[in-house]
Amino acid sequence: MTVLSQSHPNRDYSYTQSRELSWLRFNRRVLEEAGDESVPLLERLKFISIFTSNLDEFFMVRVGNLFDLSLVSPEEIDNKTGQTPAQQLQEIYSVVPGLIEIKNRLYTDVAALLRRQGVCDLTMEELTGEERRFVNTYYKAKILPVLSPQIVDAHHPFPHLANKSLNVALALRRENKHAFGLIPLPQGLPPFFQLEDGRENVEEGILIWVEAGEKSYCLFVDELLGEQQIVVKPLPPYVNSFNVKDYGISGCSILGDGNISIILDAGGLYAAARNV
């Protein structure tokens, strides 16, 4: 079938194709690799990740350029398709949801297979009591101090959101007042939090004998990394506000490589363990 442009009736577009739709078909072939059951599971997961990052860049560059062009020169005709920028965008918007649906289905299938191998995303409801306490402690110590919630209202304009950044959006209500909130997630935070199996059998771990005052305790640890003399520094005030001393943490020290080491209080650990 021969396709002629309304603005250029003598131009034949049957031998050319949309660059954007052609690129989306290429990205669909990446998904087909993720659906190939002969490919190792982690490789299939990697192909899903490649598809997602490709699509992010596609919207940032190609879709972004078309959107800008639709505002600056809405009647400009593409020399490959004979379409305006708005028409090209509509075709993209009609194709992408189907690709996202395929990606979500493949991720669900791959995640279910990885769970059988012991690799899985856990919800808070799936955690044990000890694991939940461990996650809560990590959140209060590592994540909460670096969060900066923002309110968007008449006095606080909508902030700039960096490309590919993660943000938590909130609809806030207090009595008859409504507001919109944002919590940008710092890019320095790790994308995953891995629960450590640790050592549970005494024969597999190490017992350390420590003395605190008139009492003696044994600490069960996974590994001894070394011994060195350090200068103990007090914890920052914002850390103390989370009552970390109740969990047996008494201070910190800066190691020779610049990393911060937490100082444990044996008596505090014993008291925390008795309160569990």
When divided into structural domains, the chain yields a total of: 2
pLDDT digits (tens, 9 = 90+) for 194-212: 776 554 555 556 777 777 6
The top-scoring range by mean pLDDT among 7-11, 59-63, 219-223 is 59-63
Look at residue 133 and tell me if it is in a domain.
no
What CATH number did the domain enclosing 87 receive? 1.20.58.310
Query: What one-letter code names the amino acid at 119?
Result: V
Look at residue 13 and tell me if it is in a domain.
no
Which residue range(s) make up the domain with 104? 19-116
pTM of the complete model beyond 0.85? no
pLDDT of residue 37: 93
Of the three residues 81, 116, 151, the one that is the final residue of a domain is 116
Q: In sequence order, which ranges of the chain are alpha helices (DSSP H)?
A: 19-34, 41-58, 64-72, 85-116, 129-138, 237-240, 266-275
What CATH number did the domain enclosing 218 receive? 2.30.30
Confidence class of residue 229 from pLDDT cuts 50, 70 and 90? Answer: confident
pLDDT digits (tens, 9 = 90+) for 158-185: 888 888 888 999 998 888 888 889 999 8
Query: What one-letter code names the amino acid at 105?
Result: R
Of the three residues 57, 84, 116, the one that is the final residue of a domain is 116
Structure tokens belonging to residue 49: 């990740």
Average pLDDT in the 10-14 region?
A: 60
